[in-house]
């Protein structure tokens, strides 16, 4: 008796086939080696790894190139004589604007210097900086502060790199008012506007005109709507509004600033 080389069962001498597993005993039997499939597919696996490696390397280089090009700092060119047709970039912080252009530091420094002139109060700041395709830049700077429970100050400064406009508006909002006398700015309140615009003659004229409209106010005060009762002159206004059982005024002093920030 002997054993089948594949299944290990005992078989008789001279058998041509294993009665247990059906092995052809005359053709012989070779035990398969471990890793035989790896030997068969190994070259293809190596080819696949090579191709994948090349693709990954190219994709990595392309991504790196894109990141480099998007983070690269460029320079603001001279303003073109052509009119702007589209926006290149917009920024809402001075840091982002300065980081985007290698020569934006002077513009940022001038804005910071301007803000130091407003340092009587700690102001909330909102920036809108728009760069156009002709490299003109529109600057919109908004500052606000609550002076007390009834008084809010806002300052808006807007100008452009081309120096085609240079506007400033000082706004005082006074709330919680119940009598006509309270609707008129006091000397101290007028002085707040005067800190930022020395010429308050327009506002003083409107205060005088509002004072002369006391009788009209008394007849309309119960029905004052959204537009209120007011005086208007160019970019300045003095308007009385109703809020429930109380009143508030919004006084705006709009003018063209003498000097550009940058």
34-57, pLDDT tens digit by residue?
445 545 556 666 676 767 666 655
Tokens of 118: 């407003």
For 145-184, the DSSP string reads EEEETTEEEEEEEEEETT-S-EEEEEEEEEEEE-STGGGS
In the chain, what is the straight-line distance between the N-terminal and C-terminal CA atoms, in Å? Answer: 108
Percent of the chain predicted with pLDDT > 70: 79
Q: Is the pLDDT assigned to residue 69 strictly greater than 60?
A: no
How far apart CA 253 and CA 166 sit, in angstroms, is 14
Average pLDDT of the chain to the nearest whole number: 87
pLDDT of residue 127: 98
The model carries a pTM of: 0.71
State the pLDDT confidence band at 68, using cuts at 50, 70 and 90.
very low
Query: Residues 221-239: what's their mean pLDDT?
Result: 94
What is the CB neighbour count within 10 angstroms for residue 97? 23
Residue-wise pLDDT for 142-153, tens only, equals 999 999 999 999
Those residues whose C-beta lies under 8 Å from the C-beta of residue 216, and which sit 6 or more positions away, are 229
Query: Residues 184-195: what's their mean pLDDT?
Result: 97
CB 249 within 8 A of CB 239: yes
How far apart CA 157 and CA 143 sit, in angstroms, is 9
DSSP 158: E
Q: Where does 161-245 show beta strands of DSSP type E?
A: 166-177, 229-233, 236-243
Q: Pick the closest to residue 157 from 171, 172, 142 (CA basis).
A: 142
State the pLDDT confidence band at 70, using cuts at 50, 70 and 90.
very low
Q: Which of 23-32, 84-93, 216-225 has the lowest mean pLDDT?
A: 23-32
More confident position, 52 or 202:
202
Q: Is the pLDDT assigned to residue 223 strictly greater than 50?
A: yes
CA atoms within 13 A on the CB side of 164: 10
pLDDT of residue 10: 74
Q: Averaging pLDDT over each range in 57-66, 118-127, 209-218, 225-234, which range is the top one? A: 209-218
Q: Pick the closest to residue 172 from 158, 196, 184, 154 (CA basis).
A: 154
Residue-wise pLDDT for 152-186, tens only, equals 999 999 999 999 999 999 999 999 999 999 999 99
What is the CB neighbour count within 10 angstroms for residue 67? 10
Tokens of 132: 């156009």
Q: Which of 18-32, 98-112, 182-196 has the lowest mean pLDDT?
A: 18-32
Please provide residue 24's backbone torsions phi and psi, each rounded to the nearest 5 degrees. Answer: -75, 105
What is the CB neighbour count within 10 angstroms for residue 56? 10
pLDDT of residue 118: 93
pLDDT of residue 55: 67
How far apart CA 100 and CA 91 sit, in angstroms, is 9
Residue-wise pLDDT for 74-130, tens only, equals 999 999 999 999 999 999 999 999 999 999 999 999 999 999 999 888 999 999 999
Tokens of 86: 């589209």
Q: Pick the closest to residue 50 from 62, 38, 42 (CA basis).
A: 42
Query: Residues 134-147: what's their mean pLDDT?
Result: 98
Q: What is the largest CA-CA distance in the chain?
A: 134
How far apart CA 168 and CA 258 sit, in angstroms, is 10
């Amino acid at each position: 008796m002997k054993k089948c080389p594949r299944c290990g069962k005992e078989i008789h001498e001279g058998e041509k086939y294993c009665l247990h597993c059906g092995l052809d005993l005359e053709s012989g039997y070779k035990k398969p080696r471990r890793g035989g499939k790896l030997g068969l597919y190994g070259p293809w696996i190596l080819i696949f790894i090579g191709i994948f490696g090349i693709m990954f390397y190219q994709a990595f280089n392309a991504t790196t190139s894109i990141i480099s090009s998007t983070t690269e700092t460029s320079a603001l060119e001279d303003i073109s004589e052509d009119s702007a047709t589209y926006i290149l970039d917009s920024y809402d912080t001075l840091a982002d604007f300065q980081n985007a252009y290698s020569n934006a530091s002077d513009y940022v420094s001038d804005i910071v210097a301007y803000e130091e002139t407003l340092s009587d109060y700690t102001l909330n700041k909102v920036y809108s900086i728009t760069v156009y395709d002709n490299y003109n830049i529109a600057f919109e700077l908004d500052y606000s502060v609550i002076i007390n429970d009834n008084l809010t100050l806002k300052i808006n400064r807007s100008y452009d790199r081309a120096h085609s406009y240079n506007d400033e508006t000082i706004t005082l909002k006074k709330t919680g008012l119940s009598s006509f006398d309270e609707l008129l700015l006091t000397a101290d309140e007028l002085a707040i506007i005067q800190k930022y615009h020395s010429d308050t003659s327009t506002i003083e004229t409107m205060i005088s005109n509002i004072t002369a409209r006391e009788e009209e106010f008394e007849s309309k005060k119960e029905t004052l709507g959204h537009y209120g009762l007011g005086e208007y002159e160019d970019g300045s206004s003095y308007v009385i509004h109703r809020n429930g059982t109380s009143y508030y005024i919004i006084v705006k002093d709009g003018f063209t600033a003498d000097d550009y920030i940058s």
